[in-house]
Structure 1
Amino acid sequence: MASKSSSLSWLLLINTLACILLVDHSASQDDRKAYIVYMGNRQLDEASTSSLHTSMLQQVIGSIGPESLIHSYTRSFNGFAAELTKQEAQKLAGMDGVVSVFPSEQQSLQTTRSWDFLGFPQQVPRRPIESDIIIGVFDTGIWPESESFNDEGFGPPPTKWNGTCQTSTNFTCNNKIIGAKYYHQNRPFDEVDIMSPRDSDGHGTHTASTAAGNLVNGASLLGYGLGTARGGVPSARIAVYKVCWSFGCSDADLLKAFDDAIADGVDIISFSIASSFPRPYFEDSMAIGAFHAMRNGILTSMAAGNDGPGLATITNFSPWSLSVAASTIDRKFTTRVQLGNNKIYEGISINTFDLKNKTYPIIYGGDAPNTTGGFQGSDSRLCNIEGSLDENLVKGKIVFCDVLNTGEVAFVAGAVGTVMQGPDDARASRTFPLPASYLDLQDGSKVYSYIKSVRSPTVTILKSEEGNDTFSPYIASFSSRGPSPATFNILKPDLAAPGHNILAAWSQISPITNIKATPMSAEKNPEAEFAYGAGNLNPLKAPNPGLIYDIDALDYIKYLCSGEYNTKLLQLVTGDNSSCSEATNGRVFDLNYPSFALSTPPLKFISQVFNRTVTNVGSPTSTYKAIVTTPLGLTIKVNPTVLSFTSLGQKLSFALTIEGTLIDKFIASAAVVWDDGTFQVRSPLIVSVT
């Protein structure tokens, strides 16, 4: 992955807290809805570009009202968002200079230990450059009063900063939060929303503090996880771009945030946003924004998504962005459930309520339907439909439910607590508005049998206990998996970092309802590299990798030429004289990606060559030898097997050849390691049957 310097490379783990985008396909009055008109690279000045957008709209819809034009993208690339009918959108798509026109979908959102678990202790030496790093966070805003964002000891913002702070009566920036903006597509505000960069949800504050929060001693979640909370880069600056609200995050706002952040001078763009379905590169606001960020030397770090564990569920897969899977750490929170027959079952939740071992009657949700409201047991057993539980039957009792839910329905109905059951792979520690625990299906069936076999069943829910997950690290079940829907021959996600049971700062008005870094294993995640990419990030080794697979915009342009893009379309995107010809057309296998992925039909003989170039950033004079692990049935060769460097910045190339046939396997994992005795540069390799 290319970045401004290798010293920044270890920052790219920022997006480990997954957030999933749900699409609202509803149209507004008169069948108008927000569309994005993407026109590639900006070639005129801002004023001329804005005038062009207005002129194009006038040609299509005539008179332009105050809400017709939502955003003009004029600072870093070219395009606009507008309220259009489907027919008007089609007319714009046929105009000269337009790359794509697509709906702006309405979307909704997807620690004290994680850094230590990665082998990145507080005592690690820091570099002065960190205070000049600006991280652009796209999320729900930020809670500036949090100690994670105190600017004590910080000097003025770096001189490269060109952004602004949208101050208000309830929000100001400081030398830690150096910039803040909010974006709101034309639609009414909800009463919980705040018209400023202030975070009323909590998610944005959480992700910002995980990335760059200050050291906060004695931090905990209601007493759990006590320790020192800190971000990966505590001395970095934060620029906030609030693009998500109670109704969700719109593509139009996301793209405007990219337009601003690139021009503002951020070094890294970080967000936990992912579409719920795959889209072509230039019909995806996040891929478009990341492409132009890449061309300006800015890497975009994205969450892989929350649609796992199925294969090909990842939707952030553009090769010019970093996709991060969510891995576990060795911390877990368990909550025991004790039945009236003294049987005890261990569930998952963060339960701070103390019932003091007092037992309460337990009732199965399916036996307590609110029939006067028209509900049946098939509704009430889920405990997730508002009004489905009969208050007269559940009040003062603990309700047993057949699926994981928020606990809100049982709480509103007057229940004392809730016990839920469901698949083990859905288990993650959550907070609830009442005593609660989530059991796997095996233990849940025993609780159900007890309820049905006893005249007056009782239960109590104990306070949670903090324990050690000895099975870690592994990829959380919710984390989206590869392969990339665009091409199975580029490995996605790229890497993994902790994103499960992470404790960090939170909005105060939103309810809270020294260790070896450890390799990932296909034994724990059968999806192998499609789950974790290159594996957990190693923050201590990442600043000094030895060799890098450098890549720039031209490489990606060649890759695009190998697909469905022609010269005319490419020049609109790039804004230069780039062309697709036999000389420039690249192969996906030659994209200088730091991993190797190959898809093959069943039982077909494989013979594929990958070409790569590595750049020496380690020792000026060094000799690297190739170490290859080869799965059964395949032969993997590297030519040459030795790379000898005589200076820093020197580039040397090699070819990797895979031959053979996959037998009795759907996925085969391997790796290539370049080793000079000091640096070990590992690239994952995966072959899959498609």
Structure 2
Amino acid sequence: MALQWLLLLSVICSTLLLVDVTHSSAQGVRKAYIVYMGDKPKNEVPLSPLHLNMLQDVVDSSNIDDIEHEALLLHSYKRSFNGFAAMLTEQEEQKMAGMDGVVSVFPSKQKSDSFSDVGFGPPPKKWKGKCQGNGNFTCNNKIIGAQYYRASRSFEDEIESPRDIAGHGTHCASTAAGNLVNDDALGPLSVPASQVGLEENSNIYKYIKSTRNPTATIWKSEEVNDVLAPYVPYYSSRGPNPAIPNVLKPDLAAPGSYILAAYSPSDGGKLAGYNFDTGTSMACPHATL
């Protein structure tokens, strides 16, 4: 009987030890978190040193030097809001959330519904691509591969990761391979919506004030024969130029004006994760040579 109790006690102790080790291992895994600190300061103070000091306060410095602290700081946001991205454990994330000046701390992950993998199966077995995450980017069944290009020199405010910090890459990727999104909206506007100029806006306000029950109808778009459509925008290359004789007349035209697609919320002033953008990059998802 005593032997049975001894064996049972040994099993319990082993189980507790295993749970503790597993818990400690999970606590020690570092993941990318966004530390949001509200609006950016009005005075032009350098934020990166402040963010690094905060990181040093929550990270166990017994086995990490200053160089490794800098490696844990993935990016400092300083254009549209005050905050930073860092590699933290769960315990460090909890300590960071309790610091003065910190509004919230949340995991860094894909936010736009355009890249949701709901309804997608796993990548095909023959898929040979890779997800070059570098700690702050994760793929899913929709984004099955991502890499970044490292130039011969570094650029200001750039990070070595597929993660988009400017909105440009997100917009192009969403145009090329984004999902259909339910209940979408452009800021406070429900889709469909009409955009009007200042004069039309003034007339609409006059009408609203002139009746107790103002109503409006958005008609479906109509196809109109117009000799000017399609046309090449003024900012595009129209063909041979005496100043640049090696530029030939293009044989391919693609829509690149005022394209609506997903956008990185980190770029200030954009509405609800979506934005209209214009340029050659916006045309590339529609046509290639």
TM, length-normalised to structure 1:
0.18
Structure with greater strand percent: 1
TM, length-normalised to structure 2:
0.40
Structure with greater helix percent: 2
Name which structure has the greater RCO, CA cutoff 8 Å, separation 6+: 2
